[in-house]
Amino acid sequence: MLTWEYPPRIVGGLARHCWGLSRALARRGVEIHVVTLEFPETPLEEEVDGVKVHRVKVEIGNPNFLVWVLLFNHFMEKRSGSLFREVGEFDIIHVHDWLTVLAGISLKHTLDRSLVLTLHSTEMGRSGALSSPDSSTKDSIEWWGTYEAKYIITVSDSLKSEVVDHFKVPEWKVVVIPNGIDVHVFERNVDRSRVRARFRIGPNDRLILAVGRLVPQKGFQFLIQAIPKIAAKHPNVKLVMVGDGWMRGQLEDLIRRLGVGDRVITTGFISDSELIDLYLSADVLVVPSLYEPFGMVALEGMAAGLPVVVSSVGGLRQIVEHDRTGIWVYPGDVNSIAWGIDYVLSNPDQARVLAQNAKRRAKEVFSWDAIAERTIKVYERAMGW
Amino acid sequence: MKSLNKMVIEILNNVGAISKNRALSIEEISRETKVNVESLRKALEELRDMGYVEFITRDRQRRYFLTPTGILVALSSYS
């Protein structure tokens, strides 16, 4: 398995996906080698929960991002080639997103093995339009990956449609397998007052949680603008935003301009353990994304037993059923986001039912073991079994 | 984040300045980014305040590198 991010290198949902899937595959007896990129103070070689992790050092850099991607693909290919000689033949090469497609294609041809590509999003979706040469290049690499792969896995139906329409891929070649979740990690007791105090939240405050990279597509700018409207009805409302990203400064400026600095707390990156504590201590989780092929954060909130308010886009529409396992709001619509949050905060009995349904759905549909089983079936088909 | 600061952390990542032993001097960063040393000094100070960049002093010269958080923020546009 080739991926540019694997814990502790966690940029987005891709790292968590590869982490959950690889461990679940190992539990089912698959010998799995993850080839990924180096990260400070992390061993280059280690075995975690049965997964053999090989982190490559990118020995040559280049200021241009795309050239850097080419370079790290070269070093991944080199390490994978030496692994092939060290541990014996692999059956399948599984790559994630365009970032490792080039190494995957090369390995497919030199080792004569089937290539499986998981797409977690597309450049067209992320950028909204292929308006720059870099965007077009990424789009072309994605297309090449879809052409070379024996099977393509997408994490939602909406992403499958996007891939089939945009890359003109035959439908039979694309298999939808969602992200999974370890529900049991959310099954622990926390002292909500203590957790809240750590983030300057009072025990009686209404705590809204938002988690994700601070980039425009996540839509946090609209959530912040909704806060004054929600505060008019719920004076003790607070918003904790977990995550970091290049947009953090702009969002903090917006918080200052709106005068909601006493209500909105940005934490930056926090540990997984602290994040789970927050999930278990919040009143509502909001996922206000503009583009979200899956929406791992929504699934985490559901597994934690939180009522979730999500934009009705992409994979979020598939994970969350409106008014059954959560609430849909219009993407980029401040009034709609405020309405959704108010609905949950003002109807505690209904919020409890939504949360219970959501937790059950997370457990039944999105367990990593079930996801791994479906992935193995794709591997078997790719191998011609 | 200012576009200059965003560019600086992305380039620090791409050229591999991600640990103490691969830290770069301001002149080296200037060559990679094509940004003058004065503007760069200010950007690096701001990035240091944000926790994205650190420096070590070697041969009486400051050498800068990305922190683990800086790496993840630099790549946040691309995931």
Question: CB count, 10 Å around CB of A336?
Answer: 20
Q: What is the pLDDT of residue B77?
A: 76
Q: What is the pLDDT of residue A385?
A: 78
Q: B38 lies in a domain? A: yes
Q: What is the pLDDT of residue B32?
A: 95
CATH number of the structural domain spanning residue B15 = 1.10.10.10
CA distance B33 to chain A (A): 7
Beta-bridge partner residues of A37: A56
CA distance A270 to chain B (A): 10
Residue of A nearest to B33 (CA): A63
The Cβ-side half-sphere exposure at A319, using a 13 Å CA radius, reads 34
Q: What is the pLDDT of residue B78?
A: 79
Chain B residues touching A9 at Cβ < 8 A = 71-72
In angstroms, the CA A94 to CA A35 distance is 10
Residue of A nearest to B9 (CA): A246
Question: Do the chains contact at B14 and A64, CB–CB below 8 Å?
Answer: yes
pLDDT tens-place string over residues A20-60: 999 999 999 999 999 999 999 999 999 999 999 999 999 99
Per cent of chain A over pLDDT 90 is 96
User: With bands split at pLDDT 50, 70 and 90, how would you rate the model's confidence at A13?
Assistant: confident
Q: B42 lies in a domain? A: yes
Per cent of chain A over pLDDT 70 is 100
Q: pLDDT tens digits for chain B (79 residues)?
A: 788 999 999 999 999 999 999 999 999 999 999 999 999 999 999 999 999 999 999 989 999 999 999 999 999 877 6
The DSSP call for residue A94 is: E
Chain A residues touching B76 at Cβ < 8 A = 11-12, 213-215, 244-246
> For A11, which of B6, B33, B76 is closest by C-beta distance?
B76
Domain extent at residue B36: 3-74
Looking at 3.20.20.20, 3.40.50.300, 3.40.50.2000, 3.40.50.720, the CATH number of the domain A13-180+367-382 comes to 3.40.50.2000
Q: B79 lies in a domain? A: no
Question: Do the chains contact at B19 and A40, CB–CB below 8 Å?
Answer: yes
Question: What sign does the dihedral A167-A168-A169-A175 (CA atoms) show?
Answer: positive
pLDDT tens-place string over residues A139-161: 999 999 999 999 999 999 999 99
What's the average model confidence in pLDDT over A107-121? 96
> For A244, which of B6, B11, B69 is closest by C-beta distance?
B69
**Higher pLDDT pick, B2 / A347:** A347
Residue of A nearest to B72 (CA): A11
Q: What is the pLDDT of residue B29?
A: 97
Residue of B nearest to A269 (CA): B69
Total of domains in chain B? 1
Chain A residues touching B1 at Cβ < 8 A = 246-250
Chain A residues touching B6 at Cβ < 8 A = 246
pLDDT tens-place string over residues A262-281: 999 999 999 999 999 999 99
CATH number of A183-365: 3.40.50.2000
On average, the pLDDT of chain A sits at 96
Q: What is the pLDDT of residue A12?
A: 82
What's the average model confidence in pLDDT over A324-346? 98
Its pTM stands at 0.90
In angstroms, the CA B4 to CA A27 distance is 46
Chain A residues touching B68 at Cβ < 8 A = 8, 39-41
User: With bands split at pLDDT 50, 70 and 90, how would you rate the model's confidence at A129?
Assistant: confident
CA distance A113 to chain B (A): 27
Beta-bridge partner residues of A118: A96, A153
Q: What is the pLDDT of residue A9?
A: 94
User: With bands split at pLDDT 50, 70 and 90, how would you rate the model's confidence at A325?
Assistant: very high
ipTM for the complex?
0.94
Question: Do the chains contact at A269 and B79, CB–CB below 8 Å?
Answer: no
Question: Where in the sequence of chain A do the CATH 3.40.50.2000 domains occur?
Answer: 13-180+367-382, 183-365
Question: Do the chains contact at B14 and A68, CB–CB below 8 Å?
Answer: yes
Q: What is the pLDDT of residue B56?
A: 97
Question: Does residue A331 surpass a pLDDT of 90?
Answer: yes
Q: What is the pLDDT of residue A42?
A: 96
In angstroms, the CA A358 to CA B25 distance is 52
Instruction: Specify the DSSP element, H or E, that contains A118.
Output: strand A114-119
In angstroms, the CA A243 to CA A199 distance is 14
Beta strand B53-58 with B24-25: parallel, antiparallel or unpaired?
Answer: unpaired
Q: Which long-range contacts (CB under 8 A, 24 or more apart) does B43-48 make?
A: B43/B2, B43/B4, B43/B5, B43/B8, B44/B8, B46/B2, B46/B5, B47/B5, B47/B8, B47/B9
Chain B residues touching A268 at Cβ < 8 A = 51, 69
Any idea what the Cα angle at residue A310 is, between residues A306 and A314, rounded to 5°?
Answer: 130
Chain B residues touching A67 at Cβ < 8 A = 14
